[in-house]
Amino acid sequence: MSGALGVRLERRGAALVARLTIERAAKLNSLDSATLEAIAREIRALPGEVRAVVLTGAGARAFAGGANLDELAALDPVTAREFITRVHQACAALRECPVPVLARVNGFCLGAGLELAAACDLRIAAADAAFGMPEVRLGIPSVVEAALLPRLVGAGRARWLVLTGENIDAAQALAWGLVERVVPAARLDTAVDAALDALLAAGDAALRAQKRLCKLWEEAPLDECVRLSIVEFAAAYAGEEPRAMLGEFLAAKNRRKR
């Protein structure tokens, strides 16, 4: 446990996976400064052999119910800048993590919590999850990694979320592309484990390169994306993964033909 963040490392076969849990269930896993700092710190301190990360909230009621309201109410212009910078730093750590980060969304995923989820690579939600950006209803704009929302759902739907402050349910989030999968709450862990198994079936170096490219595709012009994609493809062959994994695949294919 680091502050209000639980960190657990586990083995799935030969692979090491990190599970990070926001441990503020009594407050809907609201994000205070200490928790945001812990997320950024712990993500950046993960062992190099970790292959994937799961981020979730404790209990069944919330992934993260937004920024801590008591802390928000006490801010002034100076401390507001400091607080929102902590939100950004937590999100940036997730985006810069060299391996895939999967958001296990249970219950409410609001405001800064939705920004954390948007900063993850994949999102799997329970059917009873709810998503929203309620900041304007509290007299403040949605900022920092809320800028990821148009890339996920399109400009109009992102505007709907941040201008109305209304929540949407998991089915709507799936239809909009805000999450990749929705399952009954009782099957959430099964779905997350299946996604982990799919990620871990990939080559480690290839998956790290792919995450770098996914982030690049969101941020860079097309010509730069293509140019650096060529660099990443060629660099893959400096290691043993393509030779080993292609060899295994072709050998299995030949066995099936016999």
The pLDDT tens digits for 140-198 are 999 999 999 999 999 999 999 999 999 999 999 999 999 999 999 999 999 999 999 99
**Catalytic one of 96, 115, 180, 224:** 115
Share of the chain above pLDDT 70, in %: 99
Residue 257 pLDDT: 83
**Catalytic one of 23, 42, 135, 145:** 135
Residue 135 a catalytic site member: yes
Q: Are 107 and 163 in contact (CB under 8 A)?
A: no
User: Considering Cα of 159, then 153, then 17, then 220, what sign does the dihedral take?
Assistant: negative
Cα(20)–Cα(101) distance, integer angstroms: 10
Residue 256 pLDDT level (bands cut at 50, 70, 90)? confident
Residue 115 a catalytic site member: yes
Share of the chain above pLDDT 90, in %: 96
Q: Where would I find the beta strands (DSSP E) of the chain?
A: 5-12, 15-22, 50-57, 62-64, 101-105, 108-110, 122-126, 130-132, 168-169, 181-183
Per-chain mean pLDDT for the chain: 96
The secondary structure of residue 31, as a DSSP letter, is B
Helices first, then strands: H and E counts in the chain:
11, 10
Mapped onto helix, strand or coil, the DSSP state of residue 111 is coil
Of 28, 38, 31, which is closest to residue 130 (Cα–Cα)?
28
Residue 9 pLDDT: 98
Q: Given a cut of 50, is residue 59 above it in pLDDT?
A: yes
Of 45, 170, 192, which is closest to residue 109 (Cα–Cα)?
170
- pLDDT tens-digit profile of 73-126? 999 999 999 999 999 999 999 999 999 999 999 999 999 999 999 999 999 999
Question: CA-based angle 77:78:83, to the nearest 5?
Answer: 95
Cα(34)–Cα(1) distance, integer angstroms: 12
Cα(80)–Cα(77) distance, integer angstroms: 5
Residue 3 pLDDT: 55
